[in-house]
Amino acid sequence: MISIKQIRYALAVEKTLHFRKAADNCSVSQSALSTALNELEVQLGFQVFERDNKKVLVTPMGQVFLEKARSVSVQMDDIGRLRQVDKAPLSTPLTVGMIPTIAPYLLPVVLPAVAERYPKAKLKIVEAQSQELVERVKNGELDTAVLALPYDCDKLLTFPFWEEDFYWVAPSFGGAVVRERITSDELSRENLMLLSEGHCLKDHALAACQFSGAVTHSMSATSLNTLIQLVIAGLGSTLVPEMALEQLVRHDKRLVCARLDEPGPHRNIAFVIRATYPKLDSIQALKDVFSEALDNR
């Protein structure tokens, strides 16, 4: 009979495509891992991996097996968490993913509130882009993730707790007019800089402005901090979410900002979890604390 240990070993090899690294990640010897996977393949009646001294490849039938194995592993993890269900919310460690356009601006606001309300809470924060976080939640590597919606969360449950608009940020020199609002028509005439491809913030900004993806921008960057420095240098203007204004804009006299005058909210912030995740009370507790902390900041 195939064991959960063999399943975890196979998933570790799939992730690393390297037997020694997979063995290290599983805290076993390479020979023990190889023996277990050889026995697994005998039980299955087909090869999961092609391997030689230089590389490891997943076979077509191996792909089918690993997809089912991943589902079994996630369900086993959720079964293991059932013993935590009767415990108080946030009394056990929680691994939370966050995207880079949220984490630096949200965490300083909400973590003190979490510590005050739940002093025994232990949160491990993992920062990555939305696509990676969705996959890691689905695979059971993360308990939950904080994403900006709309985004394709592929059968995950979403729990929104904050909504916000975008603000146009420009250098204060060069005749920039201080205003409260700016329309997308006006923005279309600006030298607008946005985050590089792969950041959902760029997609949300283009959607809020009703710009097409074909709009040409003079420069892109991988972080909001970099974009702001480019704006300060006079290379153009950008859009930032309301959450980031306090840190990036409001205390810098070199910058002016205006709300994007288009129907909002321009993005929603939400927790995402698997439908089978057993510690829903902990997610609800975080959702309540995060929402209150943002309202009271």
Classify 241 as helix, strand or coil: strand
Asked, colleague to colleague, whether 85-163+267-296 and 166-260 share their fold, the answer is yes
Q: What is the number of helices (H) and of strands (E) in the chain?
A: 11, 13
Query: What residue type is 148 in one-letter code?
Result: A
Select from 1.20.1260.10, 3.40.50.880, 3.60.20.10, 3.40.190.10 the CATH code of 166-260. 3.40.190.10
Percent of the chain, pLDDT > 90? 37
CATH architecture of 85-163+267-296: 3-Layer(aba) Sandwich (3.40)
Residue 212 to residues 89, 205, 207, 209, Cα–Cα distance (Å): 44, 10, 8, 9
Amino acid 112: pLDDT: 95
Higher pLDDT, 84 or 37: 37
When the pLDDT of each residue in the chain is averaged and rounded to a whole number, the result is 86
- Which pLDDT band, with edges at 50, 70 and 90, does 216 fall under? very low
Is the pLDDT reported for residue 109 higher than 90?
A: yes
> What pLDDT digit, counting tens, does each position of 243-273 carry?
999 999 988 889 999 999 988 799 999 999 9
Token readout for 194 is 């946005």
Is the pLDDT reported for residue 218 higher than 60?
A: no
- Which pLDDT band, with edges at 50, 70 and 90, does 178 fall under? low
Going from N- to C-terminal start, the domains of the chain cover 4-83, 85-163+267-296, 166-260
> What pLDDT digit, counting tens, does each position of 40-67 carry?
989 998 999 988 777 888 888 888 988 8
Beta strands in 111-247 (DSSP E): 123-127, 144-149, 157-164, 166-171, 181-182, 192-195, 220-221, 237-241
- Which pLDDT band, with edges at 50, 70 and 90, does 83 fall under? low
- Which pLDDT band, with edges at 50, 70 and 90, does 214 fall under? very low
| Among the listed residues 201, 212, 287, the one whose alpha carbon sits nearest the alpha carbon of residue 238 | 201
- Which pLDDT band, with edges at 50, 70 and 90, does 155 fall under? confident
Cβ-based neighbours of 45, under 8 Å, separated by 6 or more: none
Percent of the chain, pLDDT > 70? 92
Domain 4-83 has CATH 1.10.10.10: yes
- Which pLDDT band, with edges at 50, 70 and 90, does 149 fall under? very high
Whats the size of the chain, residue-wise?
A: 297
Return d(Cα 41, Cα 208) in angstroms, integer: 51
> What pLDDT digit, counting tens, does each position of 21-44 carry?
989 989 999 899 999 999 998 999
